Amino acid sequence: MNHPLDSAPKRVTICEVGPRDGLQNEAVPISTEDKIRFCDLLSDAGVPILEATSFVSPKHVPQMADAGEVFRRIRKDAGRTYLVLVPNERGLDRAMEAGVRAIAVFTAASEAFAKANIRMSIDQSVDTFANVVKRAKADGMWVRGALSTAFGCPFQGDVPVTDVVRVCKRLLDLGVDELSVADTIGVGTPNQVFDIVDALRAVVPPEKLGLHFHDTRGTALANTLAALECGVRIYDTSAGGLGGCPFAPGATGNCATEDLVYLLHGMGIETGIDLAKLRAASRFIAGKLGRPLASRAYTALEAADTRTSRLAAVR
Ligand code: COA
Ligand code: ZN
């Protein structure tokens, strides 16, 4: 019998964004030492791409002010990609000084969000990135183009699919190696995933398309399943479901890495990630944040382990 998910990939690449998308939005300051430890635990867990930090303006995002030191001191395993966000040439200079080999430039599908997040119009941001991408590629770097608010904008509301395609095309024309198309405020539903992925087929080869879901309204896994059905193989998630964007009112955490890994492994789809080691990374950062994590899989598996160890103690 044909299965609806026969077209789903057998292996998925997860880009772990907890240290950046997650920590940038936390009120509790996390020390440089603890950020480094968190990244190293995520490397231990086997994440193939780690978005470690961002070289943005410390005036706008104080939590990422120590990007240079964090990046220099995290362990870089062979075969993994350590990615950072770069908004302009100043960011690229700082990234190069720190030895970065993979960057993401980022703009938005809606003008209002681009203005709030990077204080540029979409056109201005693409102009700014032209030099950034050119210099990065000349240096042999891997470059990602990230697009915020593709599924809805906190200021504008609905975002036309044609705008998403138009800005993605402009990023691809700059020469980026991969796209990450984001539901920054977690408003998307699976029908939108089908529409957006379908419309993007005309401009981006499937192996270059990544999606970035937030679970603000509980639709992140449903959206991921829809995207798997479309053959999308790259997903951004955050350990424990950390996250949000300081410039997107009401935005909460990313799709949790544990939730997606649990779902994929259950479906026989490989990720290369060790779920127990991933939970160790999340447990570490939860302790530093002093709050419970949003991830359902993390919470359930931690509770099951506690029950088992209690039973063992009784015996
Ligand atoms: N790294 C460090 N400092 C930077 C910087 C960078 N990449 N870019 C700008 N700055 C500094 C400037 O030197 C300037 O400092 P000064 O006032 O001491 O001279 C200050 O930041 C403002 O610079 P300006 O060029 O006027 O930028 P802006 O205020 O228009 O902000 C961005 C533009 C893109 C730098 C800023 O909006 C930004 O960093 N946004 C990132 C937001 C983000 O990370 N969002 C989450 C990801 S979705
Ligand atoms: Zn995000």
The tens digit of pLDDT for each residue in 198-211 reads 999 999 998 999 99
pLDDT at 252: 85
Distance 97 CA to ligand 1 centre (A): 17
Ligand 1 pocket check for 245: Cβ under 6 Å: yes
pLDDT band at 315 (very low <50, low <70, confident <90, very high): confident
Per-residue tokens: 280: 């160790």
Q: Of the candidates 118, 117, 98, which has an alpha carbon nearest to the alpha carbon of residue 53?
A: 98
The pLDDT tens digits of the residues spanning 143-164 come to: 999 999 999 999 999 999 999 9
Q: How far apart are CA 60 and CA 247, in angstroms?
A: 9
pLDDT at 45: 98
Q: Of the candidates 155, 175, 180, which has an alpha carbon nearest to the alpha carbon of residue 85?
A: 180
Residue of 213 and 312 predicted with greater confidence: 213
Distance 60 CA to ligand 1 centre (A): 6
Distance 230 CA to ligand 1 centre (A): 37
pLDDT band at 1 (very low <50, low <70, confident <90, very high): low
pLDDT at 146: 98
Distance 21 CA to ligand 2 centre (A): 6
pLDDT at 2: 72
Region of residue 12 (phi > 0: left; psi between -120 and 50: alpha; otherwise: beta): beta
Answer whether residue 131 shows pLDDT above 70: yes
| Nearest-ligand number for the alpha carbon of 182 | 2
| Nearest-ligand number for the alpha carbon of 237 | 2
pTM: 0.96
Ligand 1 pocket check for 60: Cβ under 6 Å: yes
Instruction: Say which CATH topology domain 13-314 has.
Output: TIM Barrel (3.20.20)
Top mutation candidate among 55, 56, 61, 89 for ligand 1, by most atoms within 8 Å of CB: 56
pLDDT at 151: 98
Answer whether residue 91 shows pLDDT above 90: yes
Closest-lying ligand 1 atom to the alpha carbon of residue 86: 7
| Nearest-ligand number for the alpha carbon of 22 | 2
Residue nearest atom 44 in ligand 1 by C-alpha distance: 56
Ligand 1 pocket check for 63: Cβ under 6 Å: no
Top mutation candidate among 23, 57, 125, 135 for ligand 1, by most atoms within 8 Å of CB: 57
Mean pLDDT of 254-283: 98
pLDDT band at 3 (very low <50, low <70, confident <90, very high): confident
* 178-208 per-residue burial string, b: 16 or more CB within 10 A, e: under 16: bbbbbbbbbbbebebbeebbeebeebbeeeb
Q: Of the candidates 233, 212, 238, which has an alpha carbon nearest to the alpha carbon of residue 150?
A: 212
Answer whether residue 244 shows pLDDT above 70: no
**Interacting residues of 139 by C-beta distance below 8 A, sequence separation 6+:** 96
Q: What's the mean pLDDT when you consider all of the chain?
A: 95
Please report, for the chain, the start and end positions of each structural domain, with discontinuous segments joined by +.
13-314
